[in-house]
Structures are given as structure tokens and as C-alpha cells.
Amino acid sequence: MKSPVIQKLNVLDTLETNYMPYAMSVIISRALPEIDGLKPSHRKLLYTMYGMGLLKGSLTKSANIVGQTMKIHPHGDMAIYETMVRMTKGNESLLLPLVESKGNFGRCYSRDMAFASPRYTEAKLMPVAAEFFQAINKDTVPFVPNYDNTSKEPVLLPVTFPSILANPNHGIAVGMASNFCSFNLTELCNATIAFLEDERDKVFSLLQAPDFSTGAQLLYDEKELHRIYETGHGSFSLRAVYQYHKEDNCIEITEIPYTTTLEAIMEKLVSLMKAGKLKEVNDIRDETDLKGLKLTLDLKKNTDPTALMTRLFRQTTLQDTFSCNFNLIVKGQPKVLGINGILTEWLHFRQECLKRQFAYEMAEQEKTLHLLKGLEKILLDIDKAIRIIRETHKDKEVVPNLMEVFAIDEVQAEYVAEIKLRHLNREHLLKQTRQLKNLRASIKDLKDMINSPDLQKEYIISDLKRVRDTYGQPRRTKIIDREDVPQASPAVMISHYNLKVFLTKDGYLKKIPLTSLRGNFDHKLKPKDYIIQEVEGENKDDLILLSSAQKAYKLKLYELEDLKTSDLGLYLPNLVPMEPEEKILYAVSTSDYTGHMLFGFRNGKMAKIPLSAYETKTNRKVLANAFADEPLRGIRYLTEETELLAVSNINKVLIFDTGQINPKTTRHSMGVQVLKSKKDSELVALMALDQVQLENPDYYRAKIPAVGAYLKKTDSLCLTEEGETAENITLLELMPTHNTENDDQ
């Protein structure tokens, strides 16, 4: 058995030999557009259709076009067909479509609306495509052999306007990419005319902003657009157009950014709904038809459509970014150019086309002039010319004899000899020779055109005005100032809906939307665990958790996961940095930090602290010294002044008005004495009047501070029934450590 032959290769040499030619081929011959605004695949397809007579002829099957294109474009039929699909009017990819279409060519804004097979669809060139073939038969551009050397094809097309900026174009090469936005043809022609007239300061103002076939709105940022115009790099934002129909309470989206698809938007909307982040929407419907795109959102009652759309612009591709990279091939080299650079290169290209055209026309006219000069000499003695022809014995001697007698060259003699007998009348010959004057003037004009850049610019300007007036259309993409667009504040980005927060003794938290609570009140809890508090709020609220370590933990409710009653809940030590023995005692939900917190301590003192004392500008999540470091016996959130009931461990009861307690600005204040001590009694509970059964509440009422009255045998308090909420439970068993020597419940 022969040993394998191992050949050592230099990586750099291998890359240069094998990879570099491929990379250059992709860059130059496939992915990047050239100065005529076309990639090779586009150019070959259009030239084939032009050669088939489809500029003025009738529609033909797309399969026929694809087959003919393969003669100069050696690629698969579907690759060629997909190229044609994008250029059609029916697909709506191009702002200035070049191919007229009949049949289903799909839509650029839909991923699922697939185009039909080429055997079913028909196409021809749009009238504007004639501007790509202006005088192409007059040597305006060079031709090269096709891949099998059986025919020739143009290197570029002599387009009469800067089409590179008239249609969007995207390409990914090896190590570089290209992404052109499109501009309105009328604005583009006006800006190009100003550029040619050396009024370049007007170019940016005339070329207002990009324009796209899918419409939508462009958020105008003058500074960023100027950067794009100057460097060819930059980005801008596009956003969808919608209408709100109050009678149906729905939003209809009719235009979307060019960079996205209807399906991508719907998938994101559906995912938001499944995640519970789009509760304002009842249903999403795709109502796109032959009339155009339409996406309908059915809204719930009292939904603010403007706020909802502002949020969706941030959360979906209803607002998207278009990144510009004006990278194109100029004379075989890739270049990234701004608008002025592109117009400069296009002007050079167009002038070269015109010079070739004028040179071709001048050569043809000089040929005619040369022939007519010979005819003019014959005209001086036409009878003599006839006699020479008649008396010459051999056919091959006719031309030499005419050359000798009239002193003309062979070409002129051949022309005279080929004149028909019926044209040998003086009237016809005089008519022909009268062209001499016009030809000489025309040749002089052509020479001036070839040698004068100013005359060439005038010619180009006349073409641009004709193109503008013939094919110009109103803008589709509306321009709105970015500063006029309402910015999505954090509050707007939050989905608004009502909910309840449940807090359990063992430290579990459940955030449950009210829609999930309808008829479902059987909570899943750990053994021996029970709910100690139920708090109502909105998804946009802040949640303040007060702990046994005199700390306040702040959470954003919208950041917490929506749960169901069948869920165990979120374990609080995983949400906030609690100590091992620390317990959460009370929860408050607020959006505006109004109201007061009332803390009742074992010594009978109570502190009323404004809830605004827990509001921080820096959004801190942990606040120390949330209340006084004193054994706590009750917490209440007061939205308004009310009457509460204080209970001591010797069954003394006091009903007092919270309005009698003056607020303290310091969170850790001990407050004021409310329940006086008797026989070393202590406060053990703080309750609401609607939680107790009292025959005569006035019996217990007193102005603070007061000792209170003994509880009558006929009255009931119901302090610590397991399973009750915090309204009926003391904080004694929630505190990790406390003195119970005098607790007598």
C-alpha cells in the first residue's frame, strides 16, 4: 500500500490563487450595482426583453423571457425569474418598476404571498424602461461577448437619469455590502438638474428624503440625512401608517416600513399577546386583499390608540430602521459615495455615453456627406456619367472609369454606379445634393457637442426634464419631523391592565391579572401557607414591600411575570436581597405615591409617614430605615383619613381617627402615642372597623392618646384565624424575633 502524498501549501498563496478571484467575481460581477443602477442579472434580463421587442410589443409568458435570458445569463431559471419578479410592477418592490406584469407576482411586504410559476404569469417592459436603452444601437456603451461567445451584451445601459438613486438596491458581496434607498423621481431629476447647473447647495433641499414603494412615514432627522447625503453611510427610521376607527374601536394599519413584512409584524404581535404584554388588543386580523395591505387590531374598551401604537412602534417592526451603504461599482472598482459623488460619477458616465453617441452619428453623417460630395461632382455633367457607364464594356471597369473621369474615390464611384435609372433625373439629384449644407451644419454641431461639456450638460438636462414630466409621481413616503413624534416614555411602554397581588405568609408573591381571576379563587399554596394580604393595582404601578428588617423593597409590577391562581407564586428572596430570617410584612401598590403609611408599634405609638417618602429619583430598589426600629404590631396604607381600632394585650380596645395623627416626614420616626399603656400593656393589633362586630362603637371611641375600653363580652374581634388576610391578623407571628412576655391574645 502506497503512503499518502502530503502536499504543504502556503495559506496566503492558496487564498490569493483560489479565494481572491471568487471574491472579486462576486463583488464585481454579481452583488454590487454599477453606475447605471443595475446589477449584472438585472441588466441581462432587461437587455433580453429589449431584444425580444417587449418594449413596445405585447405581453409574453415569463417562462419565455427566462428561457431567452439564459442565453446570456448562465444561471438557474428560478434565480432569473426571482430577479424579474422583484422588478415588476405587481411585486411593488421598486419605486420605479421596470417590468409590466400580469398575474400573481406576490408582494414585497408579504413573506407568504408567493409569486406564481413563470408559466402562469406574463410580462413586458414598462415605458420608463425605454430610458435605459436610449440610442443603445448607436454605440453609446461598449458590448462584450456573452459567456459562450455566441452573441454580445452591453457592459452598461445608457440610462438617461441617475437610476442608481431611483430604486432601492441591496447586495451582499464578499467582505462588503451595499444598500441603496430610493428617491422620488421628480425630486431626483430636479436635484440632478440643480447639480448640473452648478447649484449644488440646492441638491439637499430638492432631494427632500428617501421615498419607498410601500409608503409609510419617514422620521426626518436633518443632521442624519445630511450625513447620508455626504458620506453614503447612515440610517433613518420608517414607521407604519395607521387609522383609528372610533365606531368599530379598531386600528387599521395600511402602510408598513419597506424593511419589514406583514408576517414579521403579526408574529411579534402574537408573541406579545401570548406573553400578556398586549392586553389592550382583543384580536389581530390580516385583511390584505387586491386593494392593498391592511392589518386590523380590535381594541378593548377605554384603550388609548395613540399610546398603544407608540408602544408598538418600539416593540415591533412597525417602526424600523433603514441603514444606507451607497457602495457601487465605478469603472471596475467598488466605491462608497455620497449623493454628490454618485451624481458626479453618473455625469461622467452619461457624458461618455453621449460622446460615443455623437461620434457614431457624426461618423454616419460624414459617410453620407462623402457620398454626396461624389454625387455633386457627377451632377456637373450627368450626361457624361451616363455615357461612361453605357460605353464601358465590362462591369468591373465602370467604377474605375468614373473614378478617373470625375476624380472621385471608389466608395463615391460605387454609390454613383448603384443609383437606380429612375433616380438619374435632375430633380432627385439636386434634392440629394441640397442635403450637403444641412449635413455640414449637423456635423459641426455634433463636433461641438463632443468637445463641449456645457452643451452635453444642456442635452442631459433636457432629458431629465422630459423624464421628470413623463414619469414623475407624487411622493409615497410621508415626511414627518422626528421632534414632532411623541417619544415612547417608560409609562407608555407598559401594558395597562388591572391586577391583584397576593402575598403569603411563607414569602410567595402572585401577580394575577383580573381577567385570570374571573371565577377562579382557589389558590395553589404550599402546605400550611396562606395569603396574608391581597392588593389591587395596575400593571404600571410600583410595588413597595415592607420587611421585618425595617427595609422597603421596590419592584416594578410590569417587570413581574403574570401568574395564575394555579401557580405557586414567585419566591420573594429570589426577587429582593432579603436576609435569611427576614420576612415581608406588608405590600403597597401605587402609581403616584399619594396617601400615607401608618405604623403601629408595641409601645402604643403610631407613625403616619407620607408614601412620597418612599419615592426616589434614582429608582433605588432597597430603602433602609423604612420605619422605626421598634416591635411592629400593625401596618396600614391610608388613601384617606379613616377610623381604626387598636387592641392591647389586656383586651383594651380604642377606636381613633387617623386624622388626629400628624404626619412625620422622617421614615424612621416613632410617631405619637395613641394607645396608652396600663399595667405594662402593649399594642397587639391594628384593625379596621368593618372587620369587627361591635354593638356600640362609641363606647370605644376616645381622643388620642387614650387607654381604651375593655372589650365587652358581646363584641367580637377575630384576630388570628388561619387563612384570613392581613386585615384580620396581627404581625406577631410574621416577626422573626419579638418579645412575647406580655402577649395575651
Q: Looking at the annotation, which residues are catalytic? A: 120
Longest dimension (CA), the chain: 160
Is residue 295 within 8 Å of 265, Cβ to Cβ?
yes
Q: Are 514 and 499 in contact (CB under 8 A)?
A: yes
Q: Which three cell numbers stand for residue 58?
A: 405585447
Residues contacting residue 106 through CB under 8 Å, at least 6 positions apart: 85, 90, 91, 113, 114, 115
Q: For cell 430605615, what's the residue?
A: 625
CA 496/CA 278 separation, integer angstroms: 9
**Amino acid letter, 639:** T
Q: What single-letter DSSP state applies at residue 289?
A: B
Q: Which helix (H) or strand (E) holds 67?
A: helix 62-69
- HSE toward the beta carbon, residue 308, CA cutoff 13 A: 27
Q: How far is the C-alpha of 370 from the C-alpha of 366, rounded, in Å?
A: 6
Identify whether the C-beta of residue 174 lies closer than 8 Å to the C-beta of residue 439. Answer: no
What the block records as the C-alpha cell of 406 is 470625375
Residue 692 has φ and ψ, to the nearest 5°, of -125, 165
Contact 708, 675 (CB under 8 A): yes
Place of cell 402546605: 527
Which residues make Cβ contacts (< 8 Å) with residue 55, sequence separation at least 6?
A: 49, 124, 125, 129, 130, 133
Q: What is the C-alpha separation between 230 and 163, in angstroms, rounded?
A: 18
Peptide bond into 705 cis (omega under 30): yes
A 10 A CB-CB count for 529 gives: 16
Task: State the DSSP string of 308-338.
Answer: HHHHHHHHSTTEEEEEEE-EEEETTEEEE--
Other beta carbons within 10 Å of 452 = 12
For residue 243, the SS3 value is strand
- Outline where DSSP puts E strands in 15-140: 60-61, 99-102, 122-125
| Placement of cell 391574645 in the chain | 745
Helical residues (DSSP H) of 232-321, grouped into ranges:
262-274, 305-315
In the block, which residue shows the cell 387598636? 646
Euclidean distance between CA atoms 74 and 153, whole angstroms: 13
Grid coordinates in use for 111?
Answer: 413573506
What span, in angstroms and rounded, lies between the C-alpha atoms of 156 and 313?
42
Phi, psi of 555 (to 5 degrees): -130, 150
64 exposure class (CB count in 10 Å sphere: 0-12, 13-18, 19+): middle
Q: Please identify which residue in the block is written with the cell numbers 474605375.
A: 400
Distance of CA 469 to the CA centre of its chain: 32
